[in-house]
Chain A
């Protein structure tokens, strides 16, 4: 008897929350249209590919071998060489933002190449470290393949390819070294946004409209209120997850090497973390405006900045590392990247999911507290 009354109440509350969600258009736009915008924006707008990077080439050695080595640059889609007359001129180009990198062929290149110690100098503008790294990669492979080409034609100098070393230095940001897997990271961002932002409005709205006071003096239990507010948004989150996975596979052609079930399971678990975080914020602030601002500040922004989505966590100060490790987003970010790129790696799957489960439990308990049916 008692159990069935509780189920009736839960169903009634679920029906109410779902109806409210479906009737509030702005909620649906944020829940379904915004993720689509984010996918397209991050997918295309934040493209990591660098095309036609301007490389100032300084030829201090004009021999055939040199021309050959640099020829690879001309044929590349990604690089467009600009010929500079002197190192000084090339430097001026970088400072004037007319070039993104300098490739310097030293005067003794041919001599050293013959001796098996050919050296080229690559100077990169590290102001934009991601572009710098891209150019580094392109230049390297362009020069190497050009030399391999030459080696093919001249079997007797077959050892030369291996003997050319590009000595590079990154200007302005020497230590930069980041990995960029942003499509898997999008799943994290969207789950965070949907979760915290949408639910942050729910309890606050009921406080503002005075509906909670009436609801409190009914047999409805706090936990029933929390669960009924979570459930409809889990459905929205699941739809978003499917959108992300489809976009990853067909739009961006990112490999999904791990199991889809594990990706789905972990994502829903992470979604629950951010949904209940949103509810906690909502219940504590009791004000829709404050709640939505705080939700953005404590969930979406850190997930964007500190979870390893943009900045590699290995390079941040210890304090930030500690903060990062406190964020559920960081653990989920690591897991989802591995799942996409590397496949199922069980120790990490278990560890991350346990952490997420703990967060969910704690947050649901706190959310239930904030609905403790008290006005004082």
Chain B
């Protein structure tokens, strides 16, 4: 039995918060990480994952307890640890004005990698990251996924004794995510690398030998993925969606019964759910009614959701927004509210969006998916009227965006990716500002603010900047909806939000769509595509697939039919292969 790579005993770390006093980020946590394997830290936002990682890396000193990394007391001698480990923070600090090669050289020099070893290592890294063609390109000009891969390559210029990865796949598309994991897995296999990774993706945790589930600064559970999965044994089912019913409506029905159902998510056109452990057969039967249900094998995610739900005092998902939103007039008549014909956008020689056409009907949830740099954001900005199109037709809410941008804008709401409200104003003041900006009258505004704060369970007097992540998200939504838009645009609203908050968020979206609001959304979480009525997959500016989630999965063939993530990868790779064949010919 070799000595553990990381050994933590009763480690504590608190931060002073001007508003709430002292907050314990890591609260008497103990764990032991074995050498030469992949270890995952999973947990919702605020579980203390990043703080713990930073303490491992010697960037923060524990307030109490003992922490040894590679057998070294990291509080006493952080430099000795830093000489031997590699650490990739959430936002890896690439020097954007330096080229790919210069970034690699810098880290190789800092780690004192000898020249002869360097040649092989660089060649291997560039090959694994598929970046050999881009060595002269400034890092700032790489796509998000490429930057993340370069960040990983920089931390791996030499084989460290321990690799720390802090949420390496946040905001990274499925293809780049798969590449990142391929690299890590290969190094674990070839070099016996010890890796600690924090993540909110359960499929990533599933690859690890050991998983620690963290919650509020403590370890809630630990074990192999198999052992953890066992906790959900016998409680996991799939509800088959009857024809004519949207999977998300069935999901809403199940998740709104928290005393019976721990969790429910749409998947593959059906709904997978977890029952509460204690026997309530009649009640469950009453809930599911005529719907066909069948047991399914339990997954790590099921166990994770169970563990988290047990910790929550309330059931936030149902509390968030079960109250249906006010119904927009003239709803669900099936008429298109967005018509896009041959839309093109060029930046100089570069074609960001090539001849794209689609329609979105009233009350639909329309998902725009694609890898980093696929043209999603450009398309999205053109739809909101933030960016003029180079050519093509673009009607939004019955207005031609090329001629009547202001009128169209009055009928759409936009929620930006980052929290774009005023942090020093309180909730009411922010909503007032946005309401007035849209020209709402005094009375109407007051009524609307009351409705919004009630619908999203927001405290009107709370200071916006101090709200927890999930509540900031709700406030952004409320601000985007204050003028009762017909169409709501959401740009990666769930990036960096934990599974619980994401469930609550989607419950709100479902309620809004039921109320007749048309939703256009971009996301990196492929399983979220299952909530959409229709999705479009874009890559390199072209529309690769368009249809219901089921249609897109079927288009991807047998490989991709299982889940959206593999369907997405199959569709994109297929198109890329076709394009490179066409270029070769």
Contacts and interface: CB of A to CB of B under 8 A. Distances in A.
Interface of A: 5, 8-9, 11-13, 15-16, 19-20, 23-24, 206, 209-221, 373-376
A214 B59 contact: no
B4 interface: no
Contact of B112 (A8, A16, A19, A376): A8
Contacts of A206: 93
B91 interface: yes
B121 to A, nearest CB: 16
29 contacts: A5-B112, A8-B112, A9-B109, A12-B109, A13-B106, A13-B110, A15-B106, A16-B95, A19-B97, A19-B98, A19-B102, A20-B98, A209-B93, A209-B96, A210-B89, A210-B93, A211-B94, A211-B95, A213-B59, A213-B87, A214-B151, A215-B93, A216-B57, A216-B59, A217-B87, A219-B82, A219-B112, A373-B58, A376-B60
Nearest to A8: B109
Given A16-B106, A219-B111, A375-B54, A214 B97 contact: no
A210 B91 CA distance: 7
Interface string B81-110: 011011111011111111000100111011
Contacts of A16: 95, 98, 102, 106
Contacts of A375: 54, 59-60
Contact of B110 (A24, A218, A373): A218
Chain A at the B interface: mostly helix, strand, loop or mixed?
A: helix
B143 interface: no
A282 to B, nearest CB: 16
B107 A218 contact: yes
B391 interface: no
A211 B83 contact: no
A24 B97 contact: yes
* Contact count band on B: 35 or more
A217 B85 contact: yes
A9 B58 CA distance: 20
A9 B112 contact: yes
Contacts of A212: 93
A209 to B, nearest CB: 6
Contact of A214 (B60, B92, B105): B92
Given A12-B110, A210-B91, A213-B59, A219 B97 contact: no
Contacts of B135: none
A329 to B, nearest CB: 32
Q: Which of A20, A206, A214, A215 has the most CB of B within 10 A?
A: A214
Contacts, number: 92
A19 B96 CA distance: 11
B424 interface: no
A15 B98 CA distance: 11
B95 A217 contact: no
Contacts of B60: 374-376
Contact of A373 (B78, B98, B154, B155): B78
Chain B at the A interface: mostly helix, strand, loop or mixed?
A: mixed
A213 B89 contact: yes
B79 A221 contact: yes
Given A16-B98, A211-B95, A217-B85, A9 B110 contact: yes
Contacts of A211: 93-95
B92 A374 contact: no
B58 A217 contact: yes
Interface in B153-199: 154-155, 164
A219 B85 CA distance: 9
Contacts of B79: 219, 221, 373
Nearest to A376: B60
B453 interface: no
A374 B98 contact: no
Contacts of B59: 213, 216-217, 373-376
B82 A374 contact: no
Contacts of B110: 9, 12-13, 215, 218-220
B61 interface: yes
A276 B59 CA distance: 24
Nearest to A220: B110
Contacts of B94: 211, 214
B276 to A, nearest CB: 41
Nearest to A9: B110
A11 B109 contact: yes
Contacts of B89: 210, 213-214
Interface in B461-519: none
Contacts of A8: 109, 112
Nearest to A5: B112
Q: Which of B98, B112, B155 has the most CB of A within 10 A?
A: B112
A63 B247 CA distance: 115
Contacts of A9: 109-110, 112
Nearest to B15: A376
Contacts of B83: 219
